[in-house]
């Protein structure tokens, strides 16, 4: 149990303005790290109807040795971030509900123990167990040899890159929004200099949190970039008869195997031995501002999760259905992105490998809402229906890429 810090220590670690308290937890430039750390509404003297706390812990043992996690408790949700793994989100808990899944990977693996190029570029799977994984930014998608002969490993490097800086900002005025800021850099001599400023923000007492990411090209040359926000959910929301609902104009199977599941893409099987993953490519619809929504509901439609995103920033949506056995990983993925999960070289002809100019910044904004009862799920479904309108989702029988000829 980590004891709350005294007021004197808090003052030493924090800087205060008229609007917020800021705590620098990690800073690579100065070599600073506060180690195990905790702050709360009580220790800050904030009077609020919903007490909150933020705690930083360092894990030990096995492949999680040296991993930092940051646990944000806003009074109704507990969000576990992992600065050591690209500021990803391990899980979210709200009462009996959990956003996350049970992977065969049981520890939160330190990237130092992962070789991304092992198993012909599948080494990323050695650490895959988070609720939200950033896939990118230099490339994403399935592994393979690019047009220039380079091996592109599965889903890029950012999730296995420790954050160079981590800050906590707590606003003084109600509702006392909590902001967790990180910086993750992909820098390679002669190759890339992509820097991502990540932010998770949440209000005390809210069942919703938001991500605000800003990707900047710090190089003097233009570069390609790709990103998929691989958002993964298992039990108790995922179960036999669970439903996926999203605003979209069309859907197609990722490959020939997924063709068999095209007509039942909105529902889920129970854990099924021998079930290989089925992946579907969706072209999402948004409102006039580009806002879209995808929803996963349990069978009774009284619990679920809603993922909001902007199609001007993230123009495509991948649905990943991996309803294998519980031991192997019973999970589904809702994945807004700039790209589908094909290897980069297959996506250039689809126009899904955008470029970023020197000094340019690209922004990505998402929201995650825990749906705790039938009223909240019904409201989310109604929002999707409004976005969808009267036009049904068109089912396209053939994959966008003929992988048999590649």
Across the strands, what pairs with 184?
Answer: 196
pLDDT in tens, 246-288: 999 999 999 999 999 999 999 999 999 999 999 999 999 999 9
2: pLDDT confidence band, cut at 50, 70 and 90?
Answer: very low
CA distances from 177 to 55, 169, 301 (A): 16, 8, 30
pTM exceeds 0.85, yes or no = yes
Q: Which residue has the higher pLDDT, 317 or 2?
A: 317
Residues 354/359/360/363 CA torsion (nearest 10 deg): 110
What span, in angstroms and rounded, lies between the C-alpha atoms of 197 and 231?
A: 19
Lowest mean pLDDT among 16-25, 146-155, 244-253: 16-25
Q: What is the overall mean pLDDT for the chain?
A: 95
20: pLDDT confidence band, cut at 50, 70 and 90?
Answer: confident
Could you tell me which of 121, 123, 154, 158 has the C-alpha nearest to residue 140? 154
Instruction: Please say if the pLDDT value at position 11 is more than 90.
Output: no
Domains of the chain (ranges; CATH) run 8-401 (2.70.98.10)
As a whole number, mean pLDDT of residues 325-347 equals 97
Q: What confidence score (pLDDT) does residue 19 get?
A: 78
pLDDT in tens, 80-117: 999 999 999 999 999 999 999 999 999 999 999 999 99
Q: What confidence score (pLDDT) does residue 25 get?
A: 98
Q: What confidence score (pLDDT) does residue 404 get?
A: 81
Q: What confidence score (pLDDT) does residue 146 get?
A: 94
């Amino acid at each position: 149990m980590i004891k709350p810090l005294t007021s004197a220590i808090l003052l030493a670690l924090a800087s205060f303005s008229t609007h917020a308290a800021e705590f620098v937890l990690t800073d690579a430039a100065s070599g600073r790290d506060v180690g195990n750390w905790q702050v709360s509404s009580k220790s800050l003297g904030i009077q609020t109807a919903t007490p909150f706390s933020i705690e930083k812990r360092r894990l030990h043992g096995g492949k999680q040795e040296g991993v930092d996690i940051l646990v944000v408790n806003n009074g109704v949700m507990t969000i576990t971030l992992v600065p050591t793994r690209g500021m990803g989100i391990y899980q979210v808990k709200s009462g009996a509900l959990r956003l996350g899944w049970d992977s065969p990977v049981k520890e939160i693996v330190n990237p130092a123990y992962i070789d991304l190029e092992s198993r012909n570029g599948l080494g990323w799977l050695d650490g895959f167990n988070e609720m939200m994984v950033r896939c990118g930014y230099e490339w994403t998608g399935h592994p393979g040899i690019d047009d220039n002969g380079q091996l592109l490993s599965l889903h890029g490097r950012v999730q296995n890159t420790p954050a160079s800086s981590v800050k906590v900002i707590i606003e003084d005025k109600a509702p006392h929004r909590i902001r967790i800021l990180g910086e993750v850099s992909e820098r390679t001599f002669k190759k890339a200099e992509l820097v991502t400023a990540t932010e998770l923000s949440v209000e005390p007492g809210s069942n919703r949190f938001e991500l605000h990411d800003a990707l900047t090209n710090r190089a003097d040359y233009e570069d390609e970039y790709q990103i998929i926000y691989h958002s993964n959910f298992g039990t108790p929301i995922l179960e036999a008869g669970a439903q996926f609902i999203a605003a979209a104009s069309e859907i197609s199977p990722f490959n020939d195997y997924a063709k068999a599941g095209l007509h039942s893409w909105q529902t889920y099987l129970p854990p099924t031995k021998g079930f290989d993953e089925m992946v579907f490519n969706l072209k999402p619809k948004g409102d006039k501002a580009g806002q879209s929504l995808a929803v996963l509901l349990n069978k009774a439609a009284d619990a679920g999760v809603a993922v909001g995103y902007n199609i001007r920033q993230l123009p495509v949506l991948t649905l990943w259905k991996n309803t294998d056995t519980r031991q192997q990983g019973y999970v589904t993925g809702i994945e807004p992105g700039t790209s589908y999960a094909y290897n980069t070289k297959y996506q250039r002809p689809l126009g899904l490998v955008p470029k970023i100019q020197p000094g340019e910044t690209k922004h990505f904004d998402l929201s995650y809402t825990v749906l705790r009862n039938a009223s909240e799920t019904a409201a989310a479904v109604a929002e999707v229906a409004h976005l969808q309108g009267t036009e049904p989702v068109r089912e396209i029988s053939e994959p966008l890429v003929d992988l048999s000829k590649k």
